[in-house]
Structure 1
Amino acid sequence: MSLTNPVRRRSGRPRSERARQAVMLAASELLPELGLRAMTTDRISERSGVSKATIYKWWPSKYAVAVDAFLAGMFAASREPDPDTGSAREDFRQALRGIMRFYSSASGRIFAQLVAEAQFDPEVFAELRDRLVASRRELVRAIWDRGVARGELLAEVDPDVGLDMMFGPAMYRLVAGHGPLTDEAADAVVDAAMCGLSR
């Protein structure tokens, strides 16, 4: 999966890698400083030293720059490994704890802003779904498949429904803010979901 592609590649001469990195760095610094709405292309240009005209040749909007910068930072950081403890319940606990820790971090707050913008911008929506959510979904689907194979989870349950039951509450808490995003909360969600999903 390439992180060098913007949300929509524009035609024209190839981008300067140094200028691209400068734009990405500027956006990654401005997002936590200002927030997604307050960050402007003017500020990105000023911070990076790359002209607005050049930025707009490569990205269609500041939101496209923000998504690229955010996802590049996410994948540069170490990804959560597959716990594979031998227990589906414990694997789900560790995976959901990792998600809740991410959601409660500074990066999680930026992610929440991008999720909000994605409701109005189909390109941002597709980028987040395809480049971030899909990879995390693959990890938890592997946990599900192992649990079914070991007889821990009900094979007749639709995996997508089961995983939504397990991990959906974290997203709901992120956007609604009605409950904590803690290890204890993650364990409680998994225990409750397993009551209906396990043998």
Structure 2
Amino acid sequence: MEDSAVPSGADSAGKRGRPRSEPSHLAVLRATAELLQEGGLRSVTTDQIAARSGVSKKTIYKWWPNKFAVALEACLSDMIIDLRDPDTGSAATDLRIVLRELTAFHAGADGRVLAQLIGEAQFDQSMRTDLHKHLMLAHRDTVRRVWARGVAEGQFRSDIDPDAAVDVLIAPLLYRHLVGHPHLDSTATDELVEITMRGLSAQG
């Protein structure tokens, strides 16, 4: 099986053959995460993963169909960002803090790898499903929780669909991250939040 084969998602790991060795499984994920940080998704090969992890290429292919599936599981294991809900007493302030943390994540090394995975996921539904289920929904849930608190406190408009509000808040950050222009940093985040909040605020 070639590295260029269509990925089938992280959930396919370990479903065929004898039960996998957990230490070897973790070694493969750790090695893959390191290689992704060093050279990016396209440059990583299964041979490199096998050499660094000490797990044979044959065994790797027994657990995953290709390098993309390994990379996806490695990233989902290594990248999980636990967006905290600061609950400062001001939902508007909380949103700024949460979105700044999200910006820092996307601007860092993990975020760059995530962008590459999102690109590959456009060609495979299972990859999109895994990314959405295990990473994107967690980010959205935190923002949505802060939004709901702001609505209950009268800080945000109650006539806006919560999912639409979350999209409006997160989408500009993802756009700038994936397209690369304009530059995404904390200053850009604050500007985007300020512009968005004018339309979402109950006092707007």
Q: Secondary structure at the match of 2:11?
A: coil
Flag structure 1 segments of 5+ consecutive residues without an equivalent: none
The equivalent residue for 2:42 is 37
The equivalent residue for 2:31 is 26
The equivalent residue for 1:167 is 170
1:47 aligns with 2:24: no
The equivalent residue for 2:11 is 7
Separation in structure 2 between the aligned mates of residue 60 and residue 184 of structure 1, nearest angstrom: 42
The equivalent residue for 2:91 is 88
The equivalent residue for 2:112 is 109
Letter matched to residue 43 of structure 2: A
Q: Secondary structure at the match of 2:158?
A: coil
Q: Secondary structure at the match of 2:79?
A: helix
Q: How big is each residue's C-alpha offset from its partner over 1:66-107, in whole Å with a ceiling of 9 and x where there is no partner?
A: 1111121123xx723111111121111111111111111111
Give the total of aligned pairs: 193
Q: Give TM-score, length-normalised by structure 2.
A: 0.90
The equivalent residue for 1:144 is 147
Letter matched to residue 31 of structure 2: A
Q: Secondary structure at the match of 2:160?
A: coil
Q: How big is each residue's C-alpha offset from its partner over 1:142-188, in whole Å with a ceiling of 9 and x where there is no partner?
A: 00110110111111101111111111100000111112222221111
Q: Give TM-score, length-normalised by structure 1.
A: 0.92
Separation in structure 1 between the aligned mates of residue 65 and residue 43 of structure 2, nearest angstrom: 17
User: How much is the aligned-residue C-alpha RMSD, in angstroms?
Assistant: 1.5
Flag structure 2 segments of 5+ consecutive residues without an equivalent: 1-8
Separation in structure 2 between the aligned mates of residue 54 and residue 30 of structure 1, nearest angstrom: 18
Separation in structure 1 between the aligned mates of residue 31 and residue 52 of structure 2, nearest angstrom: 6
- The share of aligned pairs that are identical, in percent, is 47
Question: Is the CA contact 2:98–2:143 (under 8 Å) kept in the aligned structure 1?
Answer: yes
Separation in structure 1 between the aligned mates of residue 83 and residue 146 of structure 2, nearest angstrom: 13
